[in-house]
Structure 1
Amino acid sequence: MTIHEAVKAYFEPKVEELVGDILSFNFSPESRDSFALVTNYSGKIISEYVNGDKKKAYGFAIVIVKNYSTDGDDLNLQCMNFVQSFMEWLETQNRQKRYPVFPDNCKIEKMEVLQNMPNLAGVNTESGLARYMVQCQITYKEIESDLLGL
C-alpha cells in the first residue's frame, strides 16, 4: 500500500460516519457534504541522518463542501462548527497516536492540523455551497538503514 492509499484509507471511515459519502482523492466535487483529500506534497525531506534515515513530511488538505446561506440565519456558523469539530477529531487522533498505516520502513511521528480554524476557500452563492479547507501534515521517519532504526 502506498502512502497515498494509506492516508485515504485512514480517512474513509470517518467520512462515511460523518456524511455517508465517499472520500474523493485530488478532486473536490461541487456537492453538499462532499469530502476530498487533496495532496500538497509527499516525501518532502525535512532532515537527513548519517545512517541514511530521513525525516519526511506528507502535506495535504481536507476539503469539505457544506451548504451556504446569504440570509441572516445561523447556517454558515453551523457549517463552520462542523468543520471545526472535524479538526478537533484530527487533533485527538494525533494526541492518541492513531495514525494511518504507513509502510513498514516508516514511523509516523505526528499528524497535525496546520491552522487553528478552517479556511473558507470558496463560495458558490448560486448553488448555495461553501468550500472549507483544512491544511494538515504528517511527519514521519523513513528508515533506510539495514537495522531499521536500531
Structure 2
Amino acid sequence: MTIIEAIRTYLSDCPMLLNLGSRVKVDFLQEKGKSVSIEPLPVNPVVQNYIGGGGERQYAFAVAVKFPYSDEAAMNVENSGFFEEFADWLEEQNDLDHLPDLGEGKQATKIEITSNGYLFGIAQNMKYGRYQIQCRLLYEVE
C-alpha cells in the first residue's frame, strides 16, 4: 500500500468528511457540489536518518474541500469552522494513537495539522470555494 492510499483509507473514516456525502478522492475535486480530496505537497521526505539504517520520514499533504460559497458571512464562517472540527478530530486520533496503517516496514508515529484551514480559491461562477488545510504524516521506516 502506498502512503497516499493509507492516508485516504484513514481519512475515509473521519466523521466530518463522511458527512460531506462524497468519497475522499486523490488530486481531484468535483466541479459541482461538496467534495473532498487529499493532495500531496512538495517536501523533503527525510526528517532523520538513523545510524544503521531506517529513519524518520514525513509525508505532507493538503485536505481540500469544495463548499458552496457566497457573500453570506454565516456560510463562509461555517465552511472555515469545518476545519477547526477536523483539526480537533485529528488531534484526538493522535491522542488515541489511532494512526494510518502503512503496511510492512513503515510505522506511523504522528499525523498533524501544519496550517489553519483557509480559503484557497473561488470558482469563476462564485458559487463554490476551495478550502484546504495542510497536514503531515510522520512515520518511521526500517
Alignment pair present for 1:110 and 2:92: no
Aligned equivalents of 1:107, 1:43: Cα separation in 2:
18
After superposition, the C-alpha distances for 1:75-119 in whole angstroms (9 at most, x for unaligned) are 11111112221122112112221111012211211110002x212
Indicate the residue corresponding to 2:87 in structure 1: 87
Q: CA deviation at 1:125?
A: 5.9
Indicate the residue corresponding to 1:147 in structure 2: none
- Segments of 5+ residues of structure 1 without an aligned counterpart are 144-150
Indicate the residue corresponding to 1:130 in structure 2: 129
After superposition, the C-alpha distances for 1:5-49 in whole angstroms (9 at most, x for unaligned) are 111111123266221211110122233320000011488111111
After superposition, the C-alpha distances for 1:116-138 in whole angstroms (9 at most, x for unaligned) are x2121012262411111110001
Indicate the residue corresponding to 2:48 in structure 1: 47
Q: Is the 8 A contact 2:8 2:38 kept in 1?
A: yes
How many residues in Structure 1 have an aligned counterpart in Structure 2? 141
Q: Is the 8 A contact 2:80 2:118 kept in 1?
A: no
Q: How does 1:1-150 map to 2 (within 5 A)?
A: 1-14=1-14, 17-41=18-42, 44-71=45-72, 73-115=73-115, 117-124=116-123, 126-143=125-142
Q: Is the 8 A contact 1:64 1:83 kept in 2?
A: no
What's the TM-score once normalised by structure 1's chain length?
A: 0.84
What's the TM-score once normalised by structure 2's chain length?
A: 0.89
Q: Is the 8 A contact 2:107 2:141 kept in 1?
A: yes
- Segments of 5+ residues of structure 2 without an aligned counterpart are none
Identity %: 25
Change (3 A) 1:101 1:42: farther
Aligned equivalents of 2:13, 2:103: Cα separation in 1:
20
Change (3 A) 1:87 1:16: closer
Q: Which runs of 4+ in 1 moved over 2 A?
A: 13-17, 28-32
Which has the higher Rg, Structure 1 or Structure 2? 1
* 2:121 aligned counterpart, secondary structure: strand
